[in-house]
Amino acid sequence: MAETAPAPKKKTPTVLVTSHFPKLVQVGRVCLLQKGSQSGKIVSIVEIVDGKRFLVDGPESGVHRRAVRANEIHLTKFVLRYPAGCNTKTVRKAWKDSGLTEKWKATRLYQKIENSKKKAAMGDLDRFKLYVAKQRRNRLVKRTYYPLLKKNRKLALEKKKKKRTHAKGTYYKNIKA
C-alpha cells in the first residue's frame, strides 16, 4: 500500500485580545485600591497568587506588600516593567524611573478622587457658598445663551421659509409649462 502524505495543517489566525481588553491583570500593572483603610492609594501587582488574589506593593504610596482580592482593586492604564516576585527595592526603582506618581496625578481619575475628598470635607457654610456660586453661574449662562438661541431660531425659520417659497415656485412653474 502506498502511504499518503498527511494533510497540511491550517494556520490559525492570531487574535489580539488586548484590543478588546486593554487593561489586563499582569505583573507590573498599576492598580487603585478601592476598599479598606488604604483606599485611594495606588499599588503595583508584583505576583498573581491565583485567579482572585494578587500580591501588590506600593512603595511610593505608602502601601506595604500584601495580598488583595480582585474586587478590591481598580486596574489603571499604567504598567511598570520588572520581573515577577521581585523585591520592594526593584519595584521602587521602576516606580521612580517611570515617573508614575506625576503621571498618576495628571489622570482624570486622580482628580475626580481628590475633588470628592474636598467635597466630603466641606462644612455647611462651604456647601452653601458652592450652591450660591452655581446659581450665579447658571444665571449668567441663561442670560447669554437664551437670547442667542432665540436669535438663531428666528434666523433658521426665515431661511426655511425662503427655501419653501422658492421650491414651490419652481415646482409650479414646471407643471404649468
Residue 41 CA to residue 73 CA, distance in Å, equals 10
How far lies 169's CA from each of 34, 40, 156, 157, 177, in Å? 68, 68, 20, 18, 12
* pLDDT for 56: 95
Per the prediction, the chain carries an average pLDDT of 84
* pLDDT for 15: 40
| Of 14 and 39, the one with more pLDDT | 39
How far lies 92's CA from each of 60, 73, 132, in Å? 7, 20, 46
Q: Per-residue pLDDT for 41 more than 90?
A: yes
| Of 165 and 117, the one with more pLDDT | 117
Confidence of residue 2 (pLDDT cuts 50, 70, 90): low
Cell numbers that stand for 98 in this block: 517611570
Q: Per-residue pLDDT for 135 more than 90?
A: yes
Domain boundaries, the chain: 23-120, 123-177
Closest residue by Cα to residue 95 from 40, 42, 23 = 42
CATH of 23-120 among 3.40.640.10, 3.30.750.24, 2.30.30.30, 3.30.70.520: 2.30.30.30
pLDDT tens for 80-101 read 999 999 999 999 999 999 999 9
Contacts of 122 (CB under 8 A, 6+ apart): 130
| Of 86 and 2, the one with more pLDDT | 86
* pLDDT for 12: 43
Average pLDDT over residues 156-174: 63
| Of 12 and 129, the one with more pLDDT | 129
Question: What is the β-pairing status of strands 42-48 and 53-58?
Answer: antiparallel
Q: In what order do the strands lie in the sheet with 63-69?
A: 63-69, 53-58, 42-48, 29-33, 73-79
Confidence of residue 17 (pLDDT cuts 50, 70, 90): very low
